[in-house]
A and B are shown apart, each in its own frame.
Chain A
Amino acid sequence: MGAAVGIDLGTTNTVAAAVSDGVASPLPDGEGRRLLPSVVSFHPSGSVLVGRGALERRLIDGPNTIYSVKRLIGRAWASPEVEQARGKLPFELREGPKGGVVVAARGETYSLPEISAFVLRQAKALAEAALGQPVDRAVITVPANFNDLQRAATKTAGRLAGLEVLRILNEPTAAALAYGPQGKEQERIAVYDLGGGTFDITVLDLSGSVFEVLATAGDTALGGDDVDLLVAERMADDLLKNHRFDARAQPLVFGRLRMLAEDMKRELSTRDEHVVIADDLVPAERGKTVEWRFRMTRPELEWASLALVERTFRVAQQALDAAGVQPKDVDRILLVGGATRMPMVARKVEQFFGRPPMVRINPDEVVALGASIQAALLDRARQRGAAPMEHPRIAETSVVQPLPEDPMSLGEPPIELPIVGVGARPSPGPGPGPAAAPAAAARPAADFLPGGGAKPLVFELGPAPQRVPGAPPPPPRPRLPTMPFPYEAASDPPPPPAPAPAAPRAPSLPPQAAPPPRPAAAAPSASPVPDRAPVAPEPIRPAPRPAPLLIDVTPLSLSVETVGGFGDVLIEANTPVPCDRTRTFATASDDQTSVQVRVAQGELKRFAENTLLGELELTGLTPAPRGQTRVAVTFEIDADGILNVRARDVKTGHETAARMQLVGAPTDAGDLDAMRARQAAHPLALPEAPR
């Protein structure tokens, strides 16, 4: 049996993590890097490059190098997001089957889950190399605000990569799990997650070991990339004005500007001013290269991105309203996602909530760490169920590293922060900032500065691995201050949830954790409502904490279309999952044998303004006068946040065929098999995997 890992499949970067020996840690690649760029490049040789190798090909092979897929996955061709992306990306998007999107590269078309599957395969391979054992199960995270189609597409990607997807987990929830409880019995937490392409805000109540998500809201088209774009636009303006050179006319050059812009953004998180210099952007004049310099100050950047950051607080307010919570009621604010490194973000978050946010775990890794904890929890329980013993002693311990640099305090001279990993590779881009101090590479420290020039970006928190490529990795890397994960004791008490097979009454809790309930399952008889005077409101303080339980919610309301184009809401946003709702449909004409219902997700009143998920077909109905045949359809949202439907003929009680035709999604097994075959046909070009 292989290992179970957590994977944060990000817009820009992907991170895998695993819990082993009671420590949740990110899994580094052969060179000690933890961030795998979510970029896939189809090489002329037929192999597929993923990660940094692909990132470099963005500049030389733009049409066959695919990135930012997460912004488009699970979206319809006709959606505004796809329309906006078309023509702006250097690779080609086409309309796929069932109104979906495919990308074309080297004469083939690939659905977006297939592209993500390449990234996941690479993450899986790197995880296997780091762990020294096969990986076949994973918890994969998605933005909390992802709809059913986006979740289902992500799950498909996981399956195509040869992974059993244990759970599709919401990113902010994963982050909260990674942080864990902070000693207080009751806490209200807000997770502010600004990633490369998405923004999420989630409000949770943490009591004892239960994480209950109260509300979540988000914008799946708002992230750090948008800041990059703003900066790139300014750069393009500058090129036009000072060199009469139109960068926007050439997608490849503009793509290059975006990379320089990202660089600029990162630099300005630690310094007040930065200059990028490029001598190969502007075409040479009379054989002489033209040097282009672009200067920006942090106030300029902040002014430019103010509107974007303020948008996040409108979304945050929605989530708080939905939870019925005031900003001041929040005990802890967690910052997640690379874009929260912008000092302005932390400042604005503090203004909004009235207290400083917390950044104790690397915001790039915290989601993957949380996912790995959930993977271990789900996996451990399963192994206990299947094989009673063997490996049950996984203490949930997470890497908790105080960031050496508080994003709020910016006084640190950048020279103190070494560039790790830059010296090892040729600096591809132009003019690295002066931060590449000579002695720096030797000293381990947090590095929020980018590698020299345009790319690549390496974050190293642990000691820099100065290893010969190909040497075996030092598996559990020595860490900076490692704090025990607060659940760690969870391994000591008897296995928490799953009841022993032999036990006559099923649900029982670990003794210490047991709330005062009677074993309800054993005495299901109708009983008077007991007085809920909690005898011992919360279990013994010093006692080991039971394993955490996540109660997550569905982010969007689910509705069916009714007459007049309105939506009838079946399941409201922020309902805990799994949940379901049954609705009865009747035939409209005599002897009608099938019924079709359109299903959508979203909060708008008019059905058409929400995201159409697809059409539900009920077939094989008994012919009868109209209105006589009634079908009860149960819409279930499962723990992954994915919709399942089943239908029953009300009169006969028989199950009826119900099929959801999802927009843009492969539905039949044939489609999936074809995609699997295509994955098998494309070997991954793995860079020097250790061992």
Chain B
Amino acid sequence: MAGTDALKVFLESLGRKSYYEILRVQRDAPAAVIQAAFHDFSLLYHPDRYVGAPSEVAVASEIFKRGVEAYRCLSRGPMRDRYDRALARGKLRIDRSRPSTAPPPPPVRTLETIARTARAKQFAVKAERLISAGKLDDARVQLVSACQCEPDNEELADRLQALYEALALEPG
């Protein structure tokens, strides 16, 4: 479908554009202008504007998401300043949370997978649930039990240590 193809070409072109170019605003555009530009962008590319044509909805969604990324960045002062510096170095996109030098974070494994024996797993599951419920102190009791089942499981011991640290951080 012609519409879909044209959208795809446009989507591809976004990879070569700065946030300013995506929203079609000047580098010194004030916030109000950026907001108006995002509205214009949305009128063109919000997926709801394509309901009824599923393949276009899919491509428009991807385009819209890039617009959101640009808008969120440019509409907040500190982030925009950071972006301007990154752009000066030729970076078109910035990723705010990932420090570029740091190695990727190790995956987070659940306590259940860390525990090896069935008995330890039982305690681990309980501890996990209590942690999710915010009951760190109760979780500690369970995790201590799990560690007693597997005294040589270092990863489990590490997690208990992390829990102790978390408890110390708790107010009160």
Contacts and interface: CB of A to CB of B under 8 A. Distances in A.
A26 interface: no
A475 interface: no
B47 A578 contact: yes
A188 to B, nearest CB: 12
Given A526-B17, A568-B97, A507 B52 contact: no
Nearest to A550: B48
B4 interface: yes
Contacts of B46: 549, 551
B72 to A, nearest CB: 6
Contact of B69 (A384, A531, A579): A579
Interface string A544-570: 001001110000000011111100111
A562 B52 contact: no
Interface string A95-117: 00001000000000000000000
Interface string B1-29: 11110110110110011001100111101
B44 to A, nearest CB: 4
A585 B35 CA distance: 34
Given A210-B39, A526-B17, A564-B162, A498 B52 contact: yes
A381 B2 contact: no
Interface stretch (B104-112, B116-124, B141-149): B104-112
A444 interface: no
B86 interface: no
A586 B29 contact: no
B128 to A, nearest CB: 9
B7 A578 contact: no
B6 A210 contact: no
A205 interface: yes
A530 interface: yes
A498 B51 contact: yes
Given A520-B10, A530-B24, A503 B3 contact: yes
A442 interface: no
A612 interface: yes
A540 interface: no
B39 A207 contact: yes
Interface of B is mostly: helix
B6 A526 contact: no
Contacts of A209: 43
A595 B4 CA distance: 35
B68 A579 contact: yes
A468 interface: no
A584 interface: yes
Contacts of B166: 564-565, 606, 608
A296 to B, nearest CB: 37
A569 B134 CA distance: 18
Contacts of B154: none
Contact of B52 (A386, A583, A596): A386
A594 to B, nearest CB: 9
A509 interface: yes
B43 A509 contact: yes
Interface stretch (A75-83, A297-305, A447-455): A75-83
B129 interface: yes
Nearest to A77: B129
B40 A517 contact: yes
Interface in A614-673: 615, 627, 630, 636, 638-639, 663
A586 B104 contact: yes
B132 interface: yes
Contacts of B13: 524-526
A598 interface: yes
Contacts of A378: 48, 51
Interface string B33-67: 10111111011111111111100100011001100
A520 B45 CA distance: 10
Q: How big is chain B's contact interface, by range?
A: 35 or more
A497 B107 contact: no
B136 interface: yes
Interface string A362-401: 0000000000000001100111111000000000000000
Contacts of B97: 568-570
B71 A507 contact: no
B163 A565 contact: yes
A529 interface: yes
Given A382-B52, A524-B9, A550-B48, A513 B108 contact: no
A534 interface: yes
Nearest to A384: B52
Given A526-B13, A549-B49, A627-B103, A504 B6 contact: yes
A563 B25 contact: no
Nearest to A564: B162
A676 B61 CA distance: 31
B81 to A, nearest CB: 16
Contacts of B88: none
Nearest to B67: A576
A502 B2 contact: yes
B105 A563 contact: yes
Given A515-B39, A549-B49, 17 more contacts: A78-B130, A207-B39, A381-B48, A498-B49, A498-B51, A501-B53, A505-B3, A506-B6, A506-B56, A507-B45, A520-B44, A532-B33, A549-B43, A592-B107, A595-B107, A596-B110, A597-B108
Interface of B: 1-4, 6-7, 9-10, 12-13, 16-17, 20-21, 24-27, 29, 33, 35-40, 42-53, 56, 60-61, 64-65, 68-69, 71-72, 97-98, 103-110, 113, 129-134, 136, 162-163, 165-166, 169
Interface of A: 76, 78-80, 99, 205, 207-210, 212, 377-378, 381-386, 496-499, 501-507, 509, 513, 515-517, 520-522, 524-527, 529-532, 534, 537, 546, 549-551, 560-565, 568-570, 572, 575-580, 583-588, 592, 595-598, 606, 608-609, 612, 615, 627, 630, 636, 638-639, 663
3 A-B pairs closest in CB distance: A385-B52, A497-B49, A524-B13
